[in-house]
Chain A
Amino acid sequence: MKIINLDHISSKPLLPEVKAAMIKAINNDYHNPSSQHKSGEVAAETLDQARGSVAELINAALPKEVVFNSGGTESVNHAIKGVAMANAEKGKHIVTSNIEHNAVIRSLRRLKSMGYKVTSVSVDEKGRVNPQEVADAITDETILVSIMHSNNETGTIQPIEEIGAITRQKKVIFHTDAVDSVGVVPIDVQKMGVDLLSFAANNFYGPTGVGGLYIRRGTRIFPLIDGGVQEGNKRAGTENLLGIIGTGVAADITRRNLDKWYRHYKALTTKLLNDLPEYIDDYIINTHPEHSLPNMVSMSVQYIEGESVMLMLDDDNIAVSTRSACATGSLRASHVLISIGLSHADAQGTLVLSFGKDNTVEDVTAFLVALKNVVTTLRNISPLYQKVAQG
């Protein structure tokens, strides 16, 4: 049974080369990279090699600026809480945006309960932050600006370089959650002017449970996890060497193929957006027409609900993601979609489609054909569509 996977924002499958490298790593019986004997040194060299590969992918000046950990969520928690703890004497004010991932929102919520103040800037109807608003929000007390690189619900990319210029001038630490961007669009931490950048390996065809935080040399940050002196004394605990080896291989292959995959992704999203009107009507595209991830389309199909669409497409062996309130644990409309001005009813019908390198134009057409049927079926059930159809 072939499943058409149009949900690569949740995770991307392992590359065959990554699988092979990880299996080989298991058979290599690596020792603890912190051990000083020969076996430990071999492990340490392997670890450093992977670190170098990731550093190259994001153009870090030094490999040691890459700190491996358990993934995007830990990276974000480390960036925010680590900076807050290390700079509390300077100030307790943090600037963020209205459309961040829960890892950011809830880390900040935790800090708020401990006396920190948070200013959250809004976004325009296409989901972009205005850098001037970030500049205006920064005070003498501000210790951190945390704005995501691309949004996981809309795919919209933020003006990170412009914000980076502001934070550098104002000497405020800048973190960007780039979990959905690293491996999909070119990332250059030096050009972007960020001090901290979060990434996850499973978003560039590496294993789940591995990721890391780029920490520019000289950035004042405490570890989130205390213990040994692993990872340059920034993240204690024996490293997940097997996962990190897979991450290094994934980073190498991604870097070499980034341009090619970018063009492939762009061709698929362009076809999807061009062909869509032939199949369905009454939908809203939430993705920024210009500043967006090349592999992602967020669309709100009106008068129907996203979880129902997702379940019916699943019956057709097509995997998509929805941002309907019904499909979340909290049953609340997405804060991102409400922030860009969608009504609660329209937000209910939101599908997030994200392509991977192995998707084809045939997949796009198969999706559109299936979508048309599902939308027709669900609109026949929907009282909202009935009202609209009757005028």
Chain B
Amino acid sequence: MYNKVVMDHFRNPRNVGVIENPDGVGEVGNPLCGDMMTIYLKIDNENIDDIKFQTFGCGSAIAVSSMLTEIAKGKSLDEAKKITNKDVAKALEGLPKNKLHCSNLGADALQMAIKDYEDRKAGIKRPELIRIDKHEHSHGEQCYCPYCDIELEGGTTFCDACHSSLEEEH
């Protein structure tokens, strides 16, 4: 079900762990499947000097976290801000369609961690780091029916192909 690159990052995840006294932390949860991801950053001269992650999630979520940290490590913050979900999925040489939403978690957690760093620098205190997403059609440009895998029109709550109701389900 997963390709070799995904399985390699799942079996041997890079940059797992916690950074003590991090410069930025991003934490994202997905209420739909229960996945949760935390990204820790060490910033030096506006560069990502070190990055670590912790993830509660499936093989895909762990592989996404691992690949994301590999891509982001050593990049300038300006470069890192441009990292998208698509970049991570592409570097993993593809994910099963219904797992594409896992790649959101990675890029979102990174962007939150960068925002946290910038907020700290600007002296803005945020009481709550966790952002729990409502279901959003944020898995790239295409949505797919979780039941029959057919491409869906954005925003639909009903799959015309298999007649499944899709409230909060895709």
Q: Please give the distance in Å from B66's CB to the nearest CB on chain A.
A: 9
Question: In the complex the two chains form, is B146's CB within 8 Å of A383's CB?
Answer: no
| A326 with B55: CB separation less than 8 A | no
Q: Are A384 and B56 in contact (CB under 8 A)?
A: yes
Flag whether A329 is at the interface (Cβ < 8 A).
yes
Knowing A348-B34, A383-B37, say if A308 contacts B11 (CB, 8 Å): no
Q: Is the CB of B54 within 8 A of A381?
A: yes
Q: Does B31 contact A (CB under 8 A)?
A: yes
The 0/1 profile, CB within 8 Å of B marked 1, for residues 343-374 of chain A is 01101100000000000000000000000000
Asked if residues B146 and A329 are in contact (CB atoms below 8 Å), the reply is: yes
Task: Note all chain A residues with C-beta closer than 8 A to B38.
Answer: 383
User: B17, B37, B62, B98: which contacts A308 (Cβ < 8 A)?
Assistant: B62
Is B57 in contact with A329, judged by CB distance below 8 angstroms? no
18 examples of A-B residue contacts, CB within 8 angstroms: A304-B56, A305-B56, A305-B61, A307-B58, A307-B59, A308-B57, A326-B33, A326-B58, A326-B60, A326-B99, A331-B101, A331-B169, A332-B32, A348-B56, A381-B16, A383-B37, A383-B54, A386-B18
Closest 6 CB pairs of A and B: A326-B58, A383-B54, A307-B58, A330-B146, A383-B38, A325-B33
B96 — nearest CB in chain A belongs to which residue? A329
Q: A325-B33, A326-B33, A333-B34 are in contact. Are A382 and B55 (CB under 8 A)?
A: yes
Whether B32 lies near A331 (C-beta < 8 A) is yes
Contact (Cβ within 8 A) B16 A380: yes
- In whole angstroms, how far apart are the Cα atoms of A303 and B99 in the complex? 20
A303 partner residues in chain B, CB cutoff 8 A: 56
> Is B116 interfacial (CB-CB < 8 Å)?
no
Point out the residues of chain B lying under 8 angstroms from A326, CB to CB: 33, 35, 57-61, 99
Q: Is the CB of B16 within 8 A of A311?
A: no
- Within 8 Å of chain B (Cβ to Cβ): is A315? yes
Per-position binary interface string of chain A over residues 46-59, scored 1 when its CB falls under 8 Å from any chain B CB and 0 otherwise: 00000000000000
A-side interface residues toward B, CB under 8 Å? 113, 303-305, 307-308, 311-312, 315, 324-327, 329-333, 344-345, 347-348, 380-386
Contacts of B31 in A (CB 8 A): 344
How far is the CB of B67 from the nearest CB of chain A, in Å? 14
A330-B147, A332-B169, A347-B34 in contact; A382/B98 too (CB < 8 A)? no
Q: Give CA–CA (A347, B17) in the complex, Å.
A: 24
Is A382 within 8 A of B56, CB to CB? Answer: yes
Partner among A308, A324, A331, A382 whose Cβ is within 8 Å of the Cβ of B146: A331
Give 10 A-B pairs besides A329-B146, A332-B33, A386-B18 with Cβ atoms closer than 8 angstroms. Answer: A305-B35, A305-B58, A307-B58, A311-B10, A326-B33, A326-B35, A331-B101, A331-B146, A348-B56, A383-B36
User: Do A383 and B58 touch across chains, with their CB atoms under 8 A apart?
Assistant: no
Within 8 A of A (CB), among B1-34: 2, 7, 10-11, 13, 16-18, 27, 31-34
Q: Given the known A-B contacts A305-B35, A308-B62, A329-B98, are A381 and B147 also in contact in the complex, defined by CB atoms under 8 Å?
A: no
Residues on B with beta carbons closer than 8 Å to the beta carbon of A333: 33-34
Residues of A within 8 A of B62 (CB): 308, 381
Residues of A within 8 Å of B98, CB to CB, are 329, 331
Q: Which residues of A contact B147 (CB under 8 A)?
A: 329-330
Query: How far apart are the CA atoms of A326 and B147 in the complex, in Å?
Result: 13
Instruction: Give the shortest distance, in Å, between B45 (CB) and chain A (any CB).
Output: 28
Give the distance in Å from the alpha carbon of A371 to the alpha carbon of B142 in the complex.
37
